[in-house]
Amino acid sequence: MLGSTLQTTLDTVLARNPGEPEFHQAVHEVFDSLAVVQERHPEYNDMAILTRLCEPERQIIFRVSWVDDEGNVQVNRGFRVQFNSALGPYKGGLRFRESVNLGIVKFLGFEQIFKNSLTGLPIGGGKGGSDFDPAGKSDGEVMRFCQSFMTELHRHIGEHTDVPAGDIGVGAREIGYLFGQYKRLTNRYEAGVLTGKGLDWGGSLVRKEATGYGATIFAQEMLAARGESLDGRTAIVSGSGNVALYAIEKVHQLGGTAITASDSSGYVVDEDGIDLGLLKQIKEVERGRISEYVDRRGGRAHYVAGGSVWEVPGDVAIPSATQNELHENDAIALVKNGVRAVSEGANMPCTPKAVDIFQDAGIAFGPGKAANAGGVATSALEMQQNASRDAWSFAYTEERLTDIMRGIHQNALETAEEFGRPGNYVIGANVAGFRKVADAMMAFGVI
């Protein structure tokens, strides 16, 4: 139950941001956790910290005009929401997908504030993207779009101001085109302005693996806190993009067996364990459909068109596709089938009702702002390497990532205990992330 001040602030935020359900959902989730902070820290209310935290420092919307392969002029909309820079330059990905709008970008940027805070690294929160979908576009079309997008965006970013990265629809190809145009426009080789770059021109080892690895490490830490392990466990993973691929890889490295993967057409179940090499060939190289996996794998693998991957029994669930993919009925099915832990690889993939079901059932639940922070943490490590003109080994970078994820888990676990909600990683992560940002905002005065 929210206190009167918190409820009034929440009502004001929702009224000022109509028609943005994803942003509303993210704000609700944080406010529900902060009721436990309100009594101990009245100074946050006095300085209107929450009101200021929910209002982005800057919202940029711009037109992106480009020419397709047939010579037709296409027009998309670009976004960059620079949400909070109390801890460092804005940091957060760019998402290229037809569904992108201001509300989704704000939801992602708001989540990024707390996620970045939890890493312990000096980075603020931001997010951006466009309603452009690279799927089915030629390399030339993607290049021309990215160049037009960066022509506007470049004036708003910089290694000490705002450092975008990739997200859904923005991989190494898109980052390359974006960085090339930034370099062309500014006449500067400012490697730290974008992360997720190619290894030959300022990128970091472990970056593409980081989000999936991190979510799996977080699942392992939650199990370890209960005296359990991923070793010998079965994992249900959704998606087949970067996060899912490397969550599957880390599950296998830790002794578990990931038996599912999915895309928008359906999902595959492979009781012998997903053949990661084959899945990477289909998805990373050929950009094919998940259904092709079964024809080429054989054995006990089978494909289900449509449906819900969460109907498949497993010990650990790692939702790694997109927001609100795991609903109330999915959570009920997972609990019924004996799931032990859920670690969010995607951003807010579980609906609020699904989260309630997991927590009521005593399932270890790792919220995205904690569980999937590995991607942005390794982006910050890439920034460190760029600043020092250095390149770290895979083993050293993975060690740093693992330490960061363990630190996030411990911080969330201890904060939940401190505020009387032991084992509640949602409250632990929200409160721990919030306090660090709030204290910095208090130190800076009213700005």
Is position 224 within any domain? yes
CATH number, residue 446: 1.10.285.10
* pLDDT at residue 133 in the model: 96
Separation between Cα atoms, residue 321 and residue 305, nearest integer Å: 16
Calculate mean pLDDT across residues 29-52.
90
Instruction: Determine the pLDDT at residue 230.
Output: 98
- CATH number of residue 106's parent domain: 3.40.50.10860
Is residue 261 within 8 A of residue 248, CB to CB? The reply is yes
Are 278 and 293 in contact by the 8 Å Cβ rule? The answer is yes
What percent of the chain is modeled with pLDDT above 70? 100
290: Cα separation from own chain's centroid: 22
User: Does 413 fall in a domain?
Assistant: no
**Domain end call among 190, 223, 248:** 190
Residue 379 lies in a domain: no
Block residue for tokens 């330059």:
89
278-316 pLDDT, tens per residue?
Answer: 999 999 889 899 999 999 998 889 999 988 999 999 999
Which one, of 343, 217, 315, lies nearest residue 258 by Cα? 315
In 3D space, the residue among 295, 229, 234 whose CA is nearest the CA of residue 268 turns out to be 295
Of 60, 378, 383, whose CA–CA distance to 190 is shortest?
383
* Among the listed residues 267, 269, 249, the one whose alpha carbon sits nearest the alpha carbon of residue 259: 269
Q: Which domain holds residue 118?
A: 58-190
Say if residues 427 and 421 touch (Cβ distance below 8 Å).
yes
In a shared domain, residues 124 and 154: yes
Tell me whether residue 405 is in a domain: no
Average of per-residue pLDDT across 9-27: 95
Tell me: do 138 and 236 sit in the same domain: no
Of 353, 371, 389, which closes a domain? 371
Q: Is the pLDDT of residue 3 over 80?
A: no
* Nearest by Cα to 305 from 345, 269, 333, 339: 269
* CA pair distance 172, 169, nearest whole angstrom: 10
Residue 37 shares a structural domain with residue 100: no
Looking at the structure, tell me whether residues 146 and 265 fall in a common domain: no
Tally of structural domains, the chain: 3
Q: What is the mean pLDDT of the chain?
A: 96
Torsion angles phi and psi, residue 182, rounded to 5: -60, -45
Question: What residues are designated binding site for substrate?
Answer: 91, 112, 115, 166, 379
**170 with 132, same domain?**
yes
DSSP per position, 350-390: B-HHHHHHHHHTT-EEE-HHHHTTHHHHHHHHHHHHHHTT-
Parallel, antiparallel or unpaired: strands 124-130 and 234-237: unpaired
The rounded distance, in Å, linking the Cα atoms of 413 and 410 is 5
pLDDT tens-digit profile of 259-284? 999 999 999 999 999 999 999 999 98
- In angstroms, the Cα distances linking 7 to 28, 61, 91, 350 are 10, 30, 29, 24
Known catalytic residues are: 127
Q: Does residue 224 register a pLDDT over 70?
A: yes
Whether pLDDT at 337 is above 90: yes
SS3 label, residue 217: helix
Same domain, 238 and 301: yes
Same domain, 6 and 78: no
Tens digit of pLDDT for each residue in 75-134?
999 999 999 999 999 999 999 999 999 999 999 999 999 999 999 999 999 999 999 999
pLDDT score recorded for residue 54: 97
Query: What confidence tens digit (pLDDT) does each residue in 349-381 have?
Result: 999 999 999 999 999 999 999 999 999 999 999
388 domain residue, yes or no: no
- Mean pLDDT along residues 53-59: 97
Query: What CATH number is associated with residue 324?
Result: 3.40.50.720
Binding residues, as ranges, are 91, 112, 115, 166, 211, 242, 379
Last residue of a domain, one of 326, 353, 371: 371
Residues 155 and 258 in one domain: no
In this predicted structure, the answer to whether residue 1 has a pLDDT above a threshold of 70 is no
222 and 163 in a single domain? The answer is: no
Asked if the structure places residue 376 within a domain, the reply is no
Q: Are residues 240 and 273 in the same domain?
A: yes
Torsion of CA 418, 364, 93, 390, to 10 degrees: 80
Position 254 confidence tier, pLDDT thresholds 50, 70, 90: very high
Alpha-carbon distance 383 to 388, whole Å? 9
**Sheet with 162-166, edge to edge strand ranges:** 58-67, 73-84, 124-130, 90-96, 162-166
Rounded Cα gap, residues 428 and 365, in angstroms:
11
- Contact residues for 438 (Cβ-Cβ < 8 A; gap 6+): 41, 44, 49, 53
* 256 within domain boundaries: yes
Question: Are 17 and 38 within one domain?
Answer: yes
* Structural domain contains residue 182: yes
Annotated binding site for NAD(+): 211, 242
Residues 93 and 21 in one domain: no
Q: What is the mean pLDDT of residues 12-24?
A: 96
For 388-438, the pLDDT digits (tens) are 999 999 999 999 999 999 999 999 999 999 999 999 999 999 999 999 999
